[in-house]
């Protein structure tokens, strides 16, 4: 997932959504590779 996709997910789910938190961690992990 890209940072753009994570930002789009934030708009839909809100920053307090458990799914948003999980996808944000995935996005950060993928960016570090």
pTM for this predicted structure = 0.35
DSSP 25: H
Regarding predicted confidence, which is higher, 31 or 25? 25
User: 3 and 27 in contact (C-beta within 8 Å)?
Assistant: yes
Please state, in angstroms and as integers, the Cα–Cα distance from residue 17 to each residue in 12, 21, 32, following that order. 9, 7, 23
Q: Give 8-25 pLDDT, tens digit per residue.
A: 655 555 556 677 778 888
Whether the pLDDT of residue 26 is over 70: the answer is yes
Question: What's the N-to-C CA distance of the chain in angstroms?
Answer: 12
Q: Where are the domains of the chain?
A: 3-32
User: 13 and 20 in contact (C-beta within 8 Å)?
Assistant: yes
């Amino acid at each position: 997932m890209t940072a753009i996709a994570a930002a789009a997910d934030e708009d839909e789910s809100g920053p307090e959504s458990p799914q948003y938190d999980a996808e944000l961690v995935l996005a950060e992990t993928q960016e570090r590779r």
